Amino acid sequence: MTEKTNCLSVYLHIPFCRKKCSYCDFPSWANRESYMNAYTEKVIGEIESFPAGRADALYIGGGTPSVMPADLLERMIDSIERHFSFSAEAEKSIEMNPGTVCADMLDMLRNHGFNRISIGMQSGDNRLLRMLGRIHTWEDTVQSVRLVRKAGFDNLNLDLMIGLPGQHLSDVRDSLGKAIGLGVTHLSCYGLIVEEGTRLCTEIANGSLELPDTDEEREMYELCRITAEENGLKQYEISNFAKNGRKCRYNWNVWNRKEYAGFGCGAAGFLNEVRYENPRLLSDYLNGKGPVTNRISPEEARFESVMLGLRLTEGISEKDFADRHGMGFEEAFGEKMAKPIREGLLLYRNGILKLTRRGMDIQNRVLVDLM
């Protein structure tokens, strides 16, 4: 092993799925089981060539990590644990989809100190799940949560999607009730982003599916916020709500612009003001094509700190910003801050810069002003 780096977050990407969802633009593929052994070897080689270090968070995402054979996934985890020393309070989290959760994998994860499970519920409505191309039903979500609980996991996130074609406020209310009824400690409520090249994009473009209007989607978002808060899930980021002490540490570190290492096809990393992304095509990754790298300029770094930090409900401390970038908000952004403050979208008070409630609804507009 080479010289240790600073404390990092670690991300491992698993690009395999049972079925490609209609909205998905992530680097993931179905029916590629024959590549899983080669992928495991390639990832282990990538990990072993990285400088050894300390870590306080591990996140395994995809794709669907839970479709990976447990023995192959364990080999990659073993490699990460040999290469990185994890703090005693480290968070180890993995994404799973309903219908792919099994007791053997859960037991293996518990043996490796995993303490957080994130399940892609997306909706409690089987009609909407079929429209999205999901392989599971609401009943599968219930069964998956039962298995997770039985294995001893008490830190559980469920993902929900809003703004779906054919989705109404009553559907969101029903899904929220179902998710909270399962005793979640964390809830992620994401607005649908229609990505070019996906099946869903084609179906919307040809008129076979219709999105809710902007006002209805905002009502859905506000319902998520209010319902989560009423049930002890405090909003800490635009789309994320958690019980006390249950924020997702990996994401929290990324939003606070801390360094992270990414392994696997399409995985990204951020080290020493350099961002890198591995090849998004599985064939390119397996054939040894290197990552694309981008050195972040001081001006870009300042904007990134604000872009990421404004996602957080607590906002950004000017002291922390100045310690990192050598200047305060007004020197960095000057008159660009005046317009969103005047319009009630941005609040600058007592050394904290944060979005107002209205500003959170239209964050991109604020960022355009700051650019």
Determine the pLDDT at residue 75.
Answer: 98
194 pLDDT band, cuts 50/70/90, is very high
Calculate what percentage of the chain has a pLDDT beyond 90. 91
88 pLDDT band, cuts 50/70/90, is confident
Residues 6+ apart with CB under 8 A from 49: none
Indicate the length of the chain as a whole number.
371
User: What token pair was written down for 208?
Assistant: 């076979």
Task: Flag whether pLDDT at 4 surpasses 70.
Answer: no
363 pLDDT band, cuts 50/70/90, is confident
Domains within the chain, CATH numbers bracketed? 5-255 (3.20.20.70), 297-371 (1.10.10.920)
Return the bridge partners of 145, or none: none
Determine the pLDDT at residue 359.
Answer: 86
The C-alpha R_g of the chain, in whole angstroms, comes to: 21
Distance CA(364)–CA(217), nearest Å, equals 16
The rounded mean pLDDT for the chain is 94
Task: Flag whether pLDDT at 3 surpasses 70.
Answer: no
